[in-house]
Amino acid sequence: MNSTVNEQRKPYKTALYILLTYIFVFQLSSSLLLLPGVHDFVFGLVDAPADEKGAILTGWWSFIFGILSLIIIALLVRRDKNFFRIFDGEKATTSQAIGWGILGFFMVLIGQMVGGFIEMKLGIEAGSENTASLVEIAKLAPVMIIVISIIGPILEEFVFRRVIFGSFFQVWGFWLSAVVSAIVFAAIHFDFTHILLYTICGLIFAFLYYKTKRLLTSIVAHVLLNSFVSVVNLNIEKIQRYAEKIQQFVDSLPK
């Protein structure tokens, strides 16, 4: 009897440990730099101009502790065979999950356009400070691109879709769980001006997870979205120059 109860409770314990890993290992590990002597020692390891050291260190710190977080989560999930048993019914195959993930990427892009239109009508300027700051770090520490495009999305899908949405789903059902998890997902990015855009993303990712019953689906969509945004923002000046040339060519055509 006790072993059965323990098995039933195990996924909740795993979910809690994953949440704690995300908070303390990935998000708050940089607080270690505040310890006496640690800050000066670590900054001394970075061979770069003083005004660039902070960004470079942030990039590598996020990468190292992001990898560590993924390893810990993988070990936690491996020892809990019931962790992903959230939804009733048959799960999508791997190919179906990837296909829905690709489709979900385009769904998110459409959702972002709708959200952007609403923000424009509300007088909110386009452009995310959170994204801009991450891109600036990536320019100085390219390893940050891996964090933004791959590590971050995987960790966030485990936390916000499986841990938060998945846990609440078993009590509240889809809609309330999706809304709550999406709002928490939006809030954790600390870009409250564009909280609508992040919430839309969270809702679509939750739907993809629920639709296919595979976390892989929302991971694929999230990775594709972040990768796309990273490529665009890192090459925004080139894109603008190409756009200007195209516009000049169009303007030169006979009317």
Q: Which residues are catalytic?
A: 156, 189
**Three-class DSSP labels, the chain:** CHHHHHHHHHHHHHHHHHHHHHHHHHHCHHHHHHCCCHHHHHHHHCCCCHHHHHHHHHHHHHHHHHHHHHHHHHHHHHCCCCCCCCCCCCCCCHHHHHHHHHHHHHHHHHHHHHHHHHHHHCCCCCCCHHHHHHHHHHHHCCHHHHHHHHHHHHHHHHHHHHHHHHHHHHHHCHHHHHHHHHHHHHHCCCCHHHHHHHHHHHHHHHHHHHHHCCHHHHHHHHHHHHHHHHHHHHCHHHHHHHHHHHHHHHHHCCC
